[in-house]
Amino acid sequence: MSGTKKETGFAFTIDGVEVTAYAGQTIMEAADEAGVYIPRLCDHQGLRHQGSCRVCTVKAGGRSVAACTQPAAPGQSVENETPHLNKMRRDLVEMLFHEGNHLCPICEASGNCELQAMAYRLDMTETTRFPYLEPCRALDASHPDIALDTNRCISCGRCIRASQDVDGKGVFGYVGRGIHRRVAVNGEDLADTDAEVTDHAISSEVCPVGCIIRKRVGFVTPIGEREFDKGLIGHEIEEKRK
């Protein structure tokens, strides 16, 4: 495949594995197709790329870039699973844990939570040096079918993009700046919006954490039998290569 003369396809490598990409593809898109998993939180299948969580940081041509937004380049060698990059990623995941209130033992999303699963994958088990910011944000349970606990929000913005681009609604958006920046709803509270429990933005796959809560279905699947109890995050992608 290397030095391919195919009109649209070209080759590059990730950790030495040769991967084919097509013009306009990002590093992550090409990697996903090839069965190479690059950790990510804000990026999600079917949604616009945002490049905000930075967990997908890889080294391409010697520069650190976000794999979800960086176009793949012919012949480039990309580093992904290196101790150095995984250390950076672990720092980022830990930052997100400490920015909000992430109490896994009491969270309904535990076991299905991508933030938690990423911490498992990246081995976030050493004594922390980061302070806990312990925000105090009100719960919005105004909607009959949906509740929002933004204490668990990691500002990935997946709900914003899903609502805008898939549902055509715009229920969510970012407000504020810096450490005060967060996801808010298009109205006084969630009941004041046109959000519905059937929205893609509300579905369990879009919110990676336990921030968007669908009422009356909690704990249907017991702890211990959930998605990431069955396998590490990213295993579906990695299995493509096996």
Partner 1 sequence: MSELPKARIATASLAGCFGCHMAILDIDERLIELMKLVDVDRSPLTDKKRFTERCDIGIIEGGCCNEENVHVLQDFRRNCDVLIALGQCAIMGGLPAMRNAIMHSDAPLRECLDEAYITGRYIRNTTHNVPNDPALPLLLDEVYPCSQVVEIDYQIPGCAPSGDIIFDTLTKLLTGKFRGFEPEMIKFD
Partner 2 sequence: MDNGQNGSNGVASPVCNVAPIPEAEIAAICAAHGNDQHRMLDILREVQDRYRCIAPSTMDMIAAETGLTRIEVEGVASFYSFLSLTPKGRITIRFCDDIVDRYCGLKDVVEAFEDVLGIKTGETSPDGEFSLEYTPCIGMCDQAPAVMINDVIVTGLTVETAQSTAEALKQGTSPEQLVSDRFKDLTPHERALRMVENNIRHAGEVLLGPVPEDAGLNKAAAMTPTQIITAVEESGLRGCGGAGFTTGRKWRFAASERAEKHYVICNADEGEPGTFKDRVLLTERPHLLIEGMTIAARAVGARHGILYLRGEYVYLRELLEQVLEERRRRNLLGKAILGIKNFDFDIRLQLGAGAYICGEEGALISSCEGLPGEPKTRPPFPVNRGYLGYPTVVNNVETFCHAARILDKGAKWFHDMGTEGSHGTKLFSVCGDCLNPGIYELPYGHSVWELLEMVGGGDAAAVQVGGPSGTMIARDSFHRKLTFDDLATGGAIIVFNGERNILEIVEYYMSFFVHESCGYCTPCRVGNVFLQKAIHKFRKGLANPEDVDYLKDLSATIIETSRCGLGMTSPNPILTTLQNFPLVYSVVTKPNKDRIRDTFDIQSAIDGARKIAKRRSYIFDKDFTQ
By the criterion CB under 8 A, which residues form the site for partner 1? 101, 103-107, 110-111, 116, 119-121, 123, 125-128, 132, 134-136, 151, 223, 229, 232
| Between 31 and 195, CB nearer to partner 2 | 195
Residues 18 and 77: their CA atoms lie apart, in Å, by 9
Residue 116 interface partner, choices partner 1, partner 2, none, CB cut-off 5-8 Å depending on type = partner 1
CA 61, CA 75: separation in Å to the nearest integer? 10
CB of 23 to partner 2, least distance (A): 13
Question: Which one of partner 2, partner 1, none interacts with residue 119, CB within 5 to 8 A by kind?
Answer: partner 1
Nearest approach, Cβ of residue 220 and partner 2 (Å): 26
- Taking the complex as a whole, how short is the minimal distance between the CB of residue 163 and partner 1, in angstroms? 27
Residue 99 binding target from partner 1, partner 2, none, CB below 5 to 8 Å by type: partner 2
Partnered with residue 22 across adjacent β-strands are 9
Closer Cβ to partner 1, 24 or 179, answer by number: 179
Q: Which is nearer to partner 1, 103 or 175 (CB)?
A: 103
Q: Which does 173 bind (CB under 5 to 8 A by kind): partner 1, partner 2, none?
A: partner 2
Nearer to partner 1, 125 or 198 (CB): 125
Which partner, partner 2, partner 1, none, binds residue 125 by CB below 5 to 8 Å per kind? partner 1
Binding site for partner 2 (CB under 8 A): 49, 51-55, 57, 64, 66, 69, 71, 87-88, 91-92, 95-96, 98-99, 129-131, 133-138, 140, 148, 150, 155, 170, 172-190
Q: Is 142 exposed, middle or buried (0-12, 13-18, 19+ CB in 10 A)?
A: middle
Three-state SS string over the chain comes to CCCCCCCCEEEEEECCEEEEEECCCEHHHHHHHHCCCCCCCCCCCCCCCCCCCCCCEEEECCEEEECCCCECCCCCEEECCCHHHHHHHHHHHHHHHHHCCCCHHHCCCCCCCHHHHHHHHCCCCCCCCCCCCCCCCCCECCCCCEEECHHHCCCCCHHHHHHHHHCCCCCEEEECCHHHCEEEECCCCHHHCCCCCCCHHHCCCCCCCCCEEECCCCCCCCCCCCHHHHCCCCHHHHHCCC
Minimum Å gap between C-beta 110 and partner 1 is: 4
Instruction: Select 2 or 221, whichever has its Cβ closest to partner 1.
Output: 221
221 binds, among partner 1, partner 2, none (CB under 5 to 8 A by kind): none
Cβ of residue 180: shortest distance to partner 2, in angstroms? 7
Cα separation, 40 vs 53, in Å, equals 8
